[in-house]
Structure 1
Amino acid sequence: MIKKIIAVCIISSLIIACKKEGNKGIIKADSANTEILADNGAIDSTIAYNTDINGKKSVKTDYVYRATDKSLVKVVFNYDPKNRTVSITNNKKTFVLEKSEAKVNETIYKKDDMTATVKGDSLIIHQGNNIIELERTKI
C-alpha cells in the first residue's frame, strides 16, 4: 500500500513538473521577427506594428482614416504573404484591392479601375477621374 502511494506521488509530481515546464519551443518560435518586407527586401515602412511590454512586435491591421470631407473610413490590411489585400469600408460598402507593388515607403493596391496608394499615414484612392485622400486618425 505504501509503495502504491509513493508511486502515485512520484507520477503526480512528474506530471505537474511537465505541465509547469510548458511547451517552451513554441513560445520561442512565436517570438520570431514579424517585420514585413517590401518587394525589394527592405522593411515596409507603410506597415505599423504594435509592440507589447516584452518587446514582441505584432502587425496592426485595422485603422480608421478620415477623408477631406471629415467622413470616417475603416481600412483593414491583410498581410498574409499569399494574399495581401486592403479592404476599404465606407457607407456600408466594402472594396477589396489586391497588393500590386510595394516599395520601402509606398504600397500600391489595385482592383479594376480602383487604385489605393499607401504612403505613411496617408491613403490616396484613385477611381476613374475621382481622387480621394485619406489620413489615418489616432483613434
Structure 2
Amino acid sequence: MKKSILVLNAVLALTVISCKKSTESGNKSVIKTDSSETVITDNNGKIDSVTQSSSTIEVNGQKVEKTDFVYKATDGTLVKVVFKNDPKESNVAITSNKKTFTLPKTETKNGETIYKKDDMTARVKGDSLHLEQGNNVIELKRTKI
C-alpha cells in the first residue's frame, strides 16, 4: 500500500512538473494580437477624415502608387474607387455590385481629371466623381469617416 502511494505521488509530481510551460515555449503557431492602430494621414501629416488607403511600391526603380477611396452615390450605394499611377499609365478602377470598370486617364485640365474607355467617362474633381455612360450620369462623393 505504501509503495502504491509513493508511486502515485511520484507520478503526480512528474506530471505537474512536466506540464508547466513558460510563456516563451508553447504553441508556436498561435498568432499574437497586434494592438497597433492604423491612422491615415494626408500629405501634410494631418489625420485624414476621408476613408482611403494608399500604397506606393517600387518596381524596377519606378514607383507605382495606388490609392483606394470609398465613394457614395446619391442613392446611397457605396462604390470602391482605386486610382493607379505609374510611369507607363494612370487609370481608375470603379467597383460596384461585384463589377469592376477600369478606365485609362485621357486628360487633365482645370483641376479636373478625365478617364475614358468606350462609352464610359469618369470626371474627377476634388471630392466628386461624375460617371457617365451613354445617357446615364451618376454623381459620386467621397465618404467621410
For the superposition of Structure 1 and Structure 2, which TM-score range results when normalised by the shorter chain?
0.5 to 0.7
1:76 equivalent in alignment to 2:71: no
Tell me the number of residue pairs that the alignment of Structure 1 and Structure 2 aligns.
88
Higher strand share: 2
The aligned amino acid for 2:85 is Y
2:103 corresponds, among 97, 100, 105, to: 97
Q: Return 5+ residue gaps in structure 2 as ranges.
A: 1-41, 47-55, 57-64
1:128 corresponds, among 127, 134, 143, to: 134
Measured against aligned partners, the alpha-carbon deviations of 1:49-95 in whole angstroms (never above 9, x if no partner) come to 54448xxxx76711000000011000000011311000000000000
TM-score for the superposition, normalised by structure 1: 0.58
1:66 equivalent in alignment to 2:72: yes
Measured against aligned partners, the alpha-carbon deviations of 1:3-22 in whole angstroms (never above 9, x if no partner) come to xxxxxxxxxxxxxxxxxxxx
Larger gyration radius, structure 1 or structure 2: 2
- Range moving further from structure 2, 94-103 or 59-68: 59-68
Higher helix share: 1
Task: Report the identity percentage.
Answer: 67
Contact 1:50 1:60 in 2 (8 A): no
The aligned amino acid for 1:69 is D
1:85 equivalent in alignment to 2:91: yes
**Shift of the alpha carbon at 1:109?**
0.0
The aligned amino acid for 2:74 is T
The CA distance in 1 between the partners of 2:127 and 2:66, in whole Å, is 13
| Structure 1 residue ranges (4+ consecutive) displaced by more than 4 angstroms after TM superposition | none
**Shift of the alpha carbon at 1:108?**
0.0
SS in 2 for 1:61: strand
